[in-house]
């Protein structure tokens, strides 16, 4: 019994000292690590680096893209993007877009509209928003 418990302790200590497979770089060549900041999403990280969010999710084997945490490290691959993928623009383009607004955590569409003195519907129309209650931190809005 004592020999088995000693072997178990040895295996546990060895597993703690061995490098973690989670921190090893994925098999794709080229890329870097990104530490997730509060309010960031996989899509926002993809826009930030001009990388497909699908590539980030598959490189990190994310089962649910909506569940990432502040402080989590994600591998951002830099291999060439497929030709059909175009990186997201920094702000929505619309001919009537006078300025753009970066949504911060806790902001609402009605509060943003009140701040700029425009209607909620005009922001929604120029920013291609179909549900007025569904904006997210990190999103760029067009202010007409």
Beta bridge partners of 76: 32
pLDDT band at 25 (very low <50, low <70, confident <90, very high): very low
Domain 99-143: give its CATH superfamily. LysM domain (3.10.350.10)
The domain limits of the chain are: 22-77, 99-143
* CATH code of the domain occupying 22-77: 3.10.350.10
* pTM (predicted TM-score): 0.39
Check for a shared fold between 22-77 and 99-143: yes
Closest CA relative to residue 44, chosen from 108, 142, 134, 136:
136
**How do residues 1-14 score in pLDDT, each as one tens digit?**
777 777 767 666 66
Chain segment 65-116, per-residue pLDDT in tens: 778 988 899 988 876 544 444 444 444 455 667 788 888 888 999 999 998 8
């Amino acid at each position: 019994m004592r020999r088995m418990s000693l072997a178990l302790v040895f295996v546990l200590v060895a597993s703690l000292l061995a490098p973690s497979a989670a921190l090893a770089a994925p098999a794709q060549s080229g890329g870097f690590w990104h530490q997730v900041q509060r309010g960031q999403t996989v899509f926002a990280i993809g826009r930030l680096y001009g990388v497909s969010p699908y590539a980030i999710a598959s490189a990190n084997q994310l089962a649910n893209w909506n569940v990432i945490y502040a402080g989590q490290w994600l591998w951002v691959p830099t291999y060439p993007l497929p030709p059909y993928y175009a990186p997201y623009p920094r702000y929505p383009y619309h001919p009537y877009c006078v300025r753009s607004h970066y949504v911060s955590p806790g902001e609402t569409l009605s509060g943003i509209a009140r701040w700029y003195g425009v209607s909620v519907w005009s922001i929604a129309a120029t920013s291609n928003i179909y549900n007025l209650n569904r904006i997210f931190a990190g999103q760029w809005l067009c202010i007409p």
